[in-house]
Amino acid sequence: MASATGALLIHGLGGTQYDLGSMHKILKRAGIETHSLTLPGHGGQPEDLVSIKAEDWIAAVTAKYREVVDQHETLHVMGMCMGSLLAIELCRREKHTKGHLVTLAPPIYIDGWSTPWYTMLRHLLYYVPGVPARMKVEEEDPFGIKNELVRAIVKAKFERGEAFHYRWVPLACVRQVDRLRRWVMRGANEIACPALIVHAREDELTSLRSAQFLKQRFQRAELEVLENSYHMICVDNDREAVAQRVLTFFVIDPASIQRQTVEEPDVPMSAADGEALIGTFLAAMKDQAYETLFPLFASNARWEQPGNHPVAGDYVERSQLIDLFSRLMEHSGGTFAVSAFGAPAYDAVTQTARVSMTFRVGTGAAAREASGMQSIRVRNGRIVHVIYTPDDPAHDDALWTQGVASSPGGKRMQTHPISPEAAALPAAELPNAFTQATQDVKGLANRPGNQTLLQLYGLFKQGSEGDAGGDRPGFTDPIGRAKYDAWAALAGVSQDDAKRQYISLVQSLRAGE
């Protein structure tokens, strides 16, 4: 029997339902039946988008809407990025009043902080024969994600060629998005149903001006501004806040939503399989191969991290494990690393391994270590429970409470691990090595992504001049503002440490080529 309330969720350009993170699962827990579709040209190869028109996308979402609208007393419509444009245009054309409209990161304007000045030239290229079909618009770092851990996982997925998102789209497809944007801009004032606009202040693709445009034109609208995400708000740092705001908009108390545990038959694992799984887990932890680590856990896995410090907590479900490791990196300034694991002792009866571990945070003279014991339980080929017990709880509390120095603005310093070669440089040789690194970066065969360029800029300025001074550029200068923020985030880092980090980053970029 169909639920009284349904929701139609529409993904973004080049994407899949991954764009909406856990939204399907969260809405289902709330008793809302979700519906989705794969937009024309998606789910295959980027070349499939060349011949697709905006009319094809509209036709597809309209057909899906008409298929499900009569199945529910209430039907909400939600879209992410380009999907939000389609959701708006769908609601306008269908005169939707049977439910609410949710627009997530709507790109009314393509003017985010990482958008290069020459983006507007695309309108001229649309009319050059053959160019729109051949020219590739590539997805670049930071991939719409501020959370460094999630971004690393996305990079690994791209490198493996996983089909969760196109790595590029043809310029011809971007032209169709521009057509869709114009339709929405012309008809936004016709939206009569209650609407929620959720937008990140630091969206690198589309500025807050897009959200403000819709807020002014929708007849009944609420605006939620996020402070700790880039464009992909459903998978970034504010993903929980997005889910809670959507539920509240649907008049559902987020606290009333219970996590659903699916009981699986307990299939015993052989000792060899259990030990192999534990070995893979330990290797991924030590190598910080998070794209390998997280799939090892069951969807309802639990991790207990005791203590009285910012990282402590009881993390339930695989999605919360990302929060755990994000906190480990955030509160260590990106330096958390496992120094060593002991030999695991595996009990085949309880399917549990116990293993000692030592980890460190900080670099150089500021590096600190702590140790403890991990209890790791496996079941049905997955890790289901991890308990970390510190050898010295007071030492762990002090380590994580102290963390790393913060900038005056309250943001954690963005640091790059110092390589052994850079750390070993005598002070007298450091200036020349720093100068050489500034020349080496100019000779890179491949231009680094925008986030890496900002990191290089911040480290260069910190190493050359020390802490940032002067006024922060305003919103009319998004590039200058982003560069200033990259520099200001390093407040408190010594010039020598900044130089060593810069040298190390350049070394890693050269090694990657």
Above 50 in pLDDT, residue 19?
yes
- Token digits for 174? 């971007």
Residue type at 390? P
Kindly report, residue by residue over 84-106, the tens digit of the pLDDT. Answer: 999 999 999 999 999 999 999 99
Q: What is the dihedral of CA 101, 104, 108, 112, to 10 degrees?
A: 170
Say which amino acid occupies 313: G
| Least confident segment among 20-29, 54-63, 138-147, 398-407 | 398-407
Average predicted confidence (pLDDT) for the chain: 87
Mean per-residue pLDDT, 408-434: 71
pLDDT above 60 (res 262): no
Residue-level pLDDT at 201: 92
**Mean pLDDT of all residues in 13-31:** 89
Question: Which range has the top average pLDDT, 26-35, 255-264, 504-513?
Answer: 26-35
**Which pLDDT score is estimated for 21?**
85
Considering only CA atoms, which of 292, 260, 193, 237 is closest in space to residue 24?
Answer: 260
Give Cα separations from 113 to 14, 144, 231, 329, 485 (angstroms).
Answer: 21, 11, 11, 24, 12
* Look-up of token digits 């009284």: 4
Cα separation, 198 vs 79, in Å, equals 11
For the record, the structure tokens of 422 come out as 């850079």
Average pLDDT in the 421-443 region? 88
Q: What is the mean pLDDT of residues 325-350?
A: 88
Residue, of 297 and 323, whose pLDDT is higher: 297
Domains assigned to the chain? 5-254 (3.40.50.1820), 271-402 (3.10.450.50), 420-512 (1.20.80.10)
Supply 415's token pair: 């640091």
Residue 414 has pLDDT above 50, yes or no: no
Q: Which has the minimum average pLDDT: 18-32, 59-73, 102-116, 415-429?
A: 415-429
The pLDDT tens digits of the residues spanning 366-386 come to: 788 999 999 999 999 999 999
Please say whether the beta carbons of 105 and 115 come within 8 A: no
Q: How many Å apart are CA 413 and CA 332, to the nearest integer?
A: 9
From the list 382, 121, 379, 120, the residue with the least C-alpha distance to 267 is: 379
Which of 354, 294, 163, 317 has the alpha carbon at shortest distance from 239?
317
First to last CA, the chain: 56
Average pLDDT over residues 312-317: 88
pLDDT at residue 410 is higher than 50? no
Give the rounded percent of residues in the chain with a pLDDT score beyond 90: 52
Q: Environment class of residue 122 by beta-carbon count within 10 Å: exposed (0-12), middle (13-18) or buried (19+)? A: middle
Least confident of 68-72, 179-183, 228-232, 470-474: 470-474
Cα 379 from Cα 373, distance rounded (Å): 20
217 vs 412 pLDDT, higher one: 217
**Predicted structure pTM score:** 0.71
Beta strands in 306-405 (DSSP E): 313-316, 337-341, 345-347, 352-361, 368-379, 382-390
Residue 415: the pLDDT is: 56
What is the pLDDT, as a whole number, of residue 381? 92
Please, which pLDDT band fits residue 258 given cuts at 50, 70 and 90?
A: low
Of the ranges 13-17, 278-282, 358-362, 429-433, the best mean pLDDT one: 278-282
Confidence (pLDDT) at 209:
94
Between 493 and 406, residue with greater pLDDT = 493
Q: Is the predicted pLDDT of residue 80 greater than 90, yes or no?
A: yes
pLDDT band at 163 (very low <50, low <70, confident <90, very high): low
- Distance CA(399)–CA(278), nearest Å, equals 27
